[in-house]
């Protein structure tokens, strides 16, 4: 009987911890976008290179599926990763606050790789395919091309 009471108390404590975010740190819920940035060139990036991943809000989607945007894409989340000494593919995990995601909007992942001096080495494709719902994506591949093209 005593074991059953202790087990019930332990179960209630675990449930309370889950209900309050396991520690109650007050952090907003986040969506994590997993992916990799790829380039065709067989090279290792120079020391000090950085990869910037950015999720942009591309605008509303009409009932027919057309993106309707009145302005330039708005950045929703950005992450910079040390890419020096690495080759393709470069994995990333981008944390996005869920409250920044708007229903029926399309989102685009952009990537840029810069040298230690800030000069562009690789840039994302100008026609990068939009993401319908960042909350339900699998692993995303973001191709980049040499910045000199």
CB 55 within 8 A of CB 101: no
pLDDT digits (tens, 9 = 90+) for 84-125: 999 999 999 999 888 888 887 888 889 999 999 999 999 998
Please state, in angstroms and rounded to a whole number, the distance separating the CA atoms of residues 125 and 117: 22
Quickly tell me which residue has 């990763």 as its tokens.
81
pTM: 0.71
**Inter-residue contact 72 to 52 (CB < 8 Å):** no
Q: How confident is the model at residue 129 (pLDDT cuts 50, 70, 90)?
A: confident
| Separation between Cα atoms, residue 101 and residue 105, nearest integer Å | 8
């Amino acid at each position: 009987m005593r074991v059953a009471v202790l087990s019930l108390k332990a179960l209630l404590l675990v449930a309370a911890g889950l209900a309050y975010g396991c520690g109650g740190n007050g952090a907003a819920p986040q969506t994590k976008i997993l992916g990799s940035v790829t380039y065709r060139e067989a090279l290792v990036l120079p020391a000090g290179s950085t990869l910037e991943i950015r999720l942009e809000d591309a605008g509303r989607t009409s009932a027919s599926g057309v993106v309707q945007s009145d302005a330039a894409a708005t950045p929703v989340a950005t992450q910079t990763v040390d890419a020096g000494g690495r080759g393709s593919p470069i994995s990333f995990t981008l944390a996005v606050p869920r409250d920044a995601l708007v229903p029926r909007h399309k989102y685009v992942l952009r990537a840029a790789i810069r040298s230690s001096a800030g000069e562009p080495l690789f840039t994302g494709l100008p026609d990068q395919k939009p993401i319908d719902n960042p909350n339900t994506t699998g692993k995303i591949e973001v191709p980049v091309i040499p910045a000199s093209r």
